[in-house]
Amino acid sequence: MRIGFDLDKIFINSPPFIPDALITRLYMKKPDGALEYRIPSKPEQGLRRLSHLPVFRPPIPENLAFLKSIPKDKNKIYLISSRFKFLEGQTNDLVKKYRLDKIFEEMYFNFENRQPHIFKNKVLKKLNLDLYIDDDLSLLNYVAKENKKTKFFWLNHTKKNHRLADNIFAISKLSDIFK
C-alpha cells in the first residue's frame, strides 16, 4: 500500500503551553467559506521558531514505533508536511535527529509557503495514495473531496473511531489504519 503521513501532532507533539485554540487561529475562513491559512508575520515567526525548539516538541514514541513497524516490502510510506519556509532549518534538524529520511520513501515540505491544503492536495494527487493520516480536519475535508480513491484518517485522541465522510475516518491511534 501507499501510505502518507502528516508530521506535526502525528509524530511530533505541540508544546503543551500552546492551547489548541491558538493553533486554530492559524486558519481563517474566507467570506465565501473557502479555507485559507494565515502565514505568520515576521515577529510571530520568531516566536514560533522558539516554540519549535526541540525541548518543546517531543516526539510521540508510540507513533514513531508504529511507523517503523510498517513492513517496507509491502508498503511505501511518505511524509507530507505543510511547514512553512521559516521552519526549514528546524525541520531539517528534526529529520536528521529522528532519521526520517531513512524511514520515508519520500518527504514533501511546504517550503514554498503555499496554502497548506493546496500544497497537500497537489502532493496527494501526484502520489495517488491508498491511505493518508492527518490531525487537521479542515484540511482533510478539502483534500478528501479532491482525492476520492484515497482513504483519509483524522487522528484525534478525544474522538471514538467513526466515519466522518465517505472517505474520512476518525481514529484514536495510528494502528487503527490497518483495522
Residue whose grid cell is 471514538: 160
Q: Taking contact as CB under 5 A, which single stretch among the options 19-27, 56-64, 135-143, 147-155 is the one that binds Mg ion?
A: 135-143
Residue 4 parent element (H or E): strand 2-5
Residue 89 parent element (H or E): helix 88-97
**Alpha carbon distance 63, 82 (integer Å):** 19
Q: Is 8 in the site for Mg ion (CB under 5 A)?
A: yes
Report the nearest approach of Mg ion to the CB of residue 34 (Å): 20
Q: Is 6 in the site for Mg ion (CB under 5 A)?
A: yes
| Nearer to Mg ion (CB atom), residue 109 or residue 135 | 135
Cell, residue 95: 529529520
Q: For the chain, first and last CA: distance in Å? A: 14
**Alpha carbon distance 58, 36 (integer Å):** 28
| Nearer to Mg ion (CB atom), residue 135 or residue 167 | 135
| Nearer to Mg ion (CB atom), residue 16 or residue 43 | 16
User: Per-residue contact track with Mg ion, 91 to 130, x per CB under 5 A?
Assistant: ----------------------------------------
What residue ranges bind Mg ion (CB under 5 A)?
A: 6, 8-9, 135
